[in-house]
Each structure stands twice: as C-alpha cells, then as structure tokens.
Amino acid sequence: MNYIKKKLNLIHKFLTSKKFYYSFSGVDIVINNIFRDINNGFYVDVGCQHPIKNNNTYLLHKKGWKGINIDLDQNNIDLFITARPKDININIAVSDKLKDVELFFYHKKSPINTIDKKTSEFQKAKVSQIKKIKANSLTNILDNSIYKNNKIDLLTIDVEGHELNVLNGLNFNIYSPKVIIVEFLDLNVKKLEIKNLNIDVVIKSELYKLLLSKNYTLSNCIYSDLVFVNNNFKD
C-alpha cells in the first residue's frame, strides 16, 4: 500500500510540476513567475524574431497579455501579424533616435542580423549585404502608438549588441518598465557560450550602470539574458 501511495505521489508531482518554456534561455519561466498574478499586462518586445520559437513573451501572450512586437526583418513581423493579430507588430530597427543606420544582413529571418557593426564583426558568419535602413527610438515608437504614456509591464530587448542604444532611446520617466529583460553579449570572449557570462563584466558595463541609475536591480540572469526589476515594483 505504501508503495502504491509513493508511486501515485510521484505521478502527481510529475504531472503538476511540468515546466513549459519558449524562450531560448528559459527566462520566460522567470518572467511568468514574476507576473504570476497579472493576466492582462502590456509587453514590448524589441528584436522579437519569432512569435513562438525562442520568444520571451509567448507565455504571457497565451495568458492574455498584449503589446508591441518590433523587428527589423519584415519576414519576422509577417509571422507576428499572423500569430498575434491583436498585438501591434512593427517592422523597424530601434536605436537611440531617429536616424539612418547600416544593417549588417546575413539572410532573411537570421537571428544575428544587426545594426551593430562591432557585433557583426565578431560573428563568424559572413555578411551577405549591408543595407541602409531607418531606425527610430523606442520613445518615438511608443508615443505614436495606442500605448502612448502607458507604463510598460515587461520590456524585452534582444538586438545583437545594440541594446544600450535602445535603452538610451527610452523615456524612463514616462514608460518606466516594471521588468526589463536584456541580452548582454560580452565580445571580449572567444565564443558566446553560457559558461562565458562573467558577472563582473556585466557590473562594469555601461548598460548595467544605466539601469542602476534608472532605479533597477539586477535580480537574475540566465545564459545571456539579464533580468532587471524596477525597485518600485513590489509583490
């Protein structure tokens, strides 16, 4: 009888303890836990790439969240238009201000397409084309949307080395995200791998110093995804 009870307990725990995640690093499990009591939040996904695979906001989208998805590849945005028609899906590069930039283009839907030259030079893959495109600031994009002046619940940024520029183009006084997920690439290492993320390098970075000055705490990190939480956001 005890054996049967133990087996039933194990089966129950197996069924109730399953974890499903979609982001590359699994950081969406952390995000989902942070926002476990919020079922209708507002996310902004910069460098959204794909609406499901390796996506940081898909778990929240399934809960009923809505928001803005931004990517510099129209092919990616076309997928979002199909998968998330209630979201705002925008094809544009994001930087610190409205300006012309160079896109280091590898191929359609490539996750390493970037407007950051240094990051592009780090990659072993060969750039197939350098394109002239327009970039805009996140503040301008938000100001011209239905979410103008709305506080952001979750901001996630994955733009292959241009993350600091994106943050510099956000008006924190108005939009003040509760949680920011930002990819951090240390280009001083030989290869971008999970074991090479050095927290000392993160703490010395301009990105870390900027978010610290904006009243954020680095609360977690998974692979190259850093989790910053606004100090005014309390359970």
Whole-number pLDDT of residue 19: 66
> For residues 34 and 91, what is the distance between their CA atoms, to the nearest angstrom?
29
- As a residue count, the chain comes to 235
What is the pTM (predicted TM-score) of this model?
0.89
Residues 107-153: tens digit of each pLDDT: 888 887 888 888 777 887 888 889 999 999 999 999 999 999 999 99
Given a cut of 70, is residue 74 above it in pLDDT? yes
Please report which confidence band the pLDDT of residue 104 belongs to, taking 50, 70 and 90 as the band edges: confident
Is 152:57 a contact under the CB 8 Å cutoff?
no
> For residues 29 and 74, what is the distance between their CA atoms, to the nearest angstrom?
28
Given a cut of 60, is residue 1 above it in pLDDT? no
Residues 50-60: tens digit of each pLDDT: 999 999 999 99
User: Pseudo-torsion of CA 198, 200, 201, 203, nearest 10°?
Assistant: 130
Which DSSP helix (H) or strand (E) runs through 130? Answer: strand 129-137
Q: How many CB atoms lie within 10 A of CB 22?
A: 19
Residues 184-234: tens digit of each pLDDT: 987 777 765 566 678 888 999 999 999 999 999 999 988 889 999 999 997
Q: Which of 190, 182, 187, 163 is nearest to 223 (CA)?
A: 182
Question: Where does 21-91+139-230 sit in CATH, by number?
Answer: 3.40.50.150
Given a cut of 80, is residue 68 above it in pLDDT? yes
Whole-number pLDDT of residue 26: 86
Domain ranges of the chain: 21-91+139-230
